[in-house]
Structure 1
């Protein structure tokens, strides 16, 4: 087995994603563009998306890290718009695209057109939220886009299975489709609910951080594969488990959280980079299969499908935003009246991604119990590819200027800092009371300098947030807190140099050096996290 193409893919995509941080172009778009160019360079091998790899091996960790970083409370507060997008919109887009393609492409069976509709129905909000965070979208819109991306794949995959069954002649009905969807949704939810508590219990009982992080990496695959064994939605199972674990992450010890945060950031960075690069690298594979279609006809179909996909999202988003308010007085009482700007951004943030391509590549080659080819399979692949590229490039490049043009109100940093300071003040007061209780017990007696050090740590944490509201240094422009952290890091750097010099002079050995450096690293990490 030649692993060099895989190594080149991972290394190259990571390098491009890192370079994108120095440009105004979002990393997903630059990765796709470079992938398109590289795909035609001499000597570059074919990178074919294998649905047997993408869906069970790449999708679970990407869903897990996104769900674990999401807020369960925020998603619960936005459950109606999230459900309307992740379920209602996906089904609406499947039907709208299916009927449009059926009318547009001569000879395209309706069942095959509905397969295409299910394939391109789910937006990939990884790209959308990456853009949104860069330009500072309001948290409510970002939460809705995240929630949609967590659940819409399950709806699309179920709709795809029903449409494929009808297309290949295995028999499918509306009642059967609804039944399969309910089994997938309810089954996936049940599997997630059954697994989440035992998995969390295991995480809190395993005390070795390395073992805990190994378990953390296995959890999304366990949830996904368990649900799939029962013909339920692995996507929903992963999301339910990850939301619960993220919500209860405070119960895991600090060493695990620190390592887990770094590990999952690395995993998400590598997988997301490789996935978007893979999208661009599919161009030669897709074009070679197009064969029988004239270039102009294929291009016209691609443009028309892109317009239908964009229009269908707006046709759903605006009624889904305003109709519930018109029909329910309770909603009008509980929620603020939404402006038109939110639906515009949500409607335009409909970029498609690797899940659509992976599903398209899983379309069977032949009909059921027949050697007859699946109707228009090559065209479905081509139109899926052009829709993914078109939405990523056109919508991805224009979404940031659109958000800036609409002038969303920025985050009130002063109010956020005040809320943080009040929370820290309450926590410090309770901690100080607890410290007094502990020190009053003779079993916890400490020399005064050590007791004062504990009080100083509390005082430092309490004052750090308030200092951010103070006047900056007139010479450097730094806040008092920033200056404190910078000086602390300078002191740590000076200590580190002394330890290395002592090791080089054979006054201490490497094992002692590693112990001393780890202590300094933890102190510097604490300063860095405060700065974040």
Structure 2
């Protein structure tokens, strides 16, 4: 019971700091990193141990599923070059650079040095996306950052697994090497297979709370089974989520979808909070076990690792950008990546929950574990605080033009759907058909391009103001005893759905702070 009470208090501290971050306009991942440091300084905070395998599954599986569900395979196809450069080559280069620094400065053995490099190599684009959501950046930049976080984790954890095996044995056997080579394709195939099975089974649970439980059981179950089969659990989850996102929405009701999104956003957010808090507690326990001289040496080494990670990403991204620009320019292509976009991507190297979970994944007797954990935490804190707080000013300094293509495509899609509705009603007669035609014609006129009347945004804003007035009237009727509470709740739900229908896609997203 004491553990549960302490965790509640720690989460409450994090919630308070997140509220402060909203007031100060600080990105929430940055404030989460600060909260982890703060709870580590509190004298009454408990020592909490977590199983390494559990840490990896608990913190990474749902976060990856949530991110991969929103990532389009079409974006993967159209951006394969930058994704390959970031998700593969950048991970290998960063791992090698950090491993060299670790052996040269800290004297870590080869396996431990590679493990540290693999842990800090993959950026968490979810943290960068939380910051970039405040700005209207090119959608391609956002897509590349999201895709990077999905696929770089898989390679980094494969390298980490090989390093752990190398540490426990003199060399990696041929069977182990074969298992590593089939881990990626095997994980993808397994994820696709699970997605096809889930799409067939899940509709049977539609409209029930059991469908939410099935989502979590399926996500964690896919991860566990992939781990048991020694396949890439990360790529398995990514393939599973992308397969479900491709085929399941057509079989899912609107109500189930709204419930699912709300539950997943809350669950992933809570797990992120817990990951940062647990990492802060781990760092506190390590520093308390060192004397002053050893602590300063460890912190200095962690600072060097942080600088190496940041500088390697900047150098690699800018070098790749210039090579891509020259190649595209020589080929006469119109879609050459800009230098400003490269600067933003190079500075979006924030590490997050994946790095934290990977550090917690190390066995307790792993050589140099304490130094690795401190180095990992320094990279997470340094990138989230340093880069997270300066990314906004960098974007404003570069004067990146806002991207309005998303709003334009949404308006065009709405117009096509309204045309389909009007075509369906064209053969219908009666008062109801006339009434619906009038409604859809009014909506079609609002989304028409170059329309002289009110824009779709103005119409929706006016509709929401009318709904606010209706809510006020409904509350007044309830206060005077004109209706019972069950009637109030039913009508209130109708107004809620009407407000959702009058909201833009961005307004439907919950804020993390």
Q: Is the 8 A contact 2:325 2:338 kept in 1?
A: no
Higher mean C-alpha deviation, range 93-102 or range 381-390: 381-390
Give the gaps of 5 or more residues in structure 2: 508-513
Q: Is the 8 A contact 2:283 2:373 kept in 1?
A: no
Which deviations, in whole Å up to 9, do the C-alpha atoms of 1:369-428 show, x marking residues without a partner?
Answer: xxxxx433322222222222222221222222112111111123xx65554333322222
| C-alpha displacement of 1:26 | 0.9
C-alpha distance in structure 1 between counterparts of 2:230 and 2:444, whole Å: 52
Q: Is the 8 A contact 2:471 2:492 kept in 1?
A: no
C-alpha distance in structure 1 between counterparts of 2:454 and 2:278, whole Å: 46
Which residue in the other structure is 1:194 paired with?
193
| C-alpha displacement of 1:529 | 5.0
Which residue in the other structure is 1:31 paired with?
32
Pair 466,531 (structure 1): closer, same or farther in 2 beyond 3 Å: farther
Q: 2:433 aligns with which of 451, 461, 471?
A: 451
The reply to whether residue 465 of structure 1 matches residue 447 of structure 2 is yes
| C-alpha displacement of 1:431 | 1.4
Which deviations, in whole Å up to 9, do the C-alpha atoms of 1:277-332 show, x marking residues without a partner?
Answer: 44444431231244596344323322222221112212322343344666789x94
Higher mean C-alpha deviation, range 181-190 or range 518-527: 518-527
Which residue in the other structure is 1:389 paired with?
381
The reply to whether residue 58 of structure 1 matches residue 50 of structure 2 is no
Q: 1:489 aligns with which of 458, 461, 468?
A: 468
1:124-523 alignment, distance < 5 Å: 124-172=124-172, 179-248=178-247, 249-291=249-291, 294-323=294-323, 332=331, 336-366=335-365, 374-412=366-404, 417-437=407-427, 439=428, 447-448=430-431, 450-466=432-448, 479-498=458-477, 500-501=478-479, 504=481, 509-523=484-498
Q: Is the 8 A contact 2:195 2:240 kept in 1?
A: yes
Secondary structure at 1:45 match in 2: coil
Pair 98,530 (structure 1): closer, same or farther in 2 beyond 3 Å: closer
Pair 375,254 (structure 1): closer, same or farther in 2 beyond 3 Å: closer
C-alpha distance in structure 1 between counterparts of 2:499 and 2:92, whole Å: 50
C-alpha distance in structure 2 between counterparts of 1:365 and 1:6, whole Å: 22
C-alpha distance in structure 2 between counterparts of 1:311 and 1:19, whole Å: 31
Q: Is the 8 A contact 1:496 1:520 kept in 2?
A: no
Q: Is the 8 A contact 1:467 1:481 kept in 2?
A: no
TM-score by length of 2: 0.88
Q: Is the 8 A contact 1:86 1:148 kept in 2?
A: yes
Q: Is the 8 A contact 2:321 2:339 kept in 1?
A: no
The reply to whether residue 81 of structure 1 matches residue 82 of structure 2 is yes
Secondary structure at 1:479 match in 2: helix
Q: Is the 8 A contact 1:108 1:376 kept in 2?
A: yes
Pair 315,268 (structure 1): closer, same or farther in 2 beyond 3 Å: same
Q: Is the 8 A contact 1:50 1:358 kept in 2?
A: no
Q: Is the 8 A contact 1:38 1:281 kept in 2?
A: yes
Q: Is the 8 A contact 1:111 1:164 kept in 2?
A: yes
Which deviations, in whole Å up to 9, do the C-alpha atoms of 1:330-364 show, x marking residues without a partner?
Answer: x9455612222222222221122232233223333
Q: Is the 8 A contact 2:79 2:144 kept in 1?
A: yes
| C-alpha displacement of 1:465 | 3.0
| C-alpha displacement of 1:246 | 2.3
| C-alpha displacement of 1:194 | 0.7
| C-alpha displacement of 1:209 | 4.5
| C-alpha displacement of 1:471 | 7.3
C-alpha distance in structure 2 between counterparts of 1:289 and 1:172, whole Å: 33
Pair 268,375 (structure 1): closer, same or farther in 2 beyond 3 Å: closer
Which deviations, in whole Å up to 9, do the C-alpha atoms of 1:179-198 show, x marking residues without a partner?
Answer: 44422211110111111122
Secondary structure at 1:405 match in 2: helix
Give the gaps of 5 or more residues in structure 1: 367-373, 441-446
Pair 512,480 (structure 1): closer, same or farther in 2 beyond 3 Å: closer
Pair 324,472 (structure 1): closer, same or farther in 2 beyond 3 Å: closer
Structure number with greater Rg is: 1
C-alpha distance in structure 1 between counterparts of 2:141 and 2:303, whole Å: 28
C-alpha distance in structure 2 between counterparts of 1:290 and 1:191, whole Å: 45
| C-alpha displacement of 1:216 | 2.4
Question: RMSD between aligned alpha carbons?
Answer: 3.0
C-alpha distance in structure 1 between counterparts of 2:505 and 2:307, whole Å: 46
Q: Is the 8 A contact 2:59 2:353 kept in 1?
A: no
Q: Is the 8 A contact 1:48 1:285 kept in 2?
A: no
Which deviations, in whole Å up to 9, do the C-alpha atoms of 1:135-170 show, x marking residues without a partner?
Answer: 333211111111111122211111011112222325
Which residue in the other structure is 2:510 paired with?
none
Which residue in the other structure is 1:7 paired with?
8
State the number of aligned residues.
504
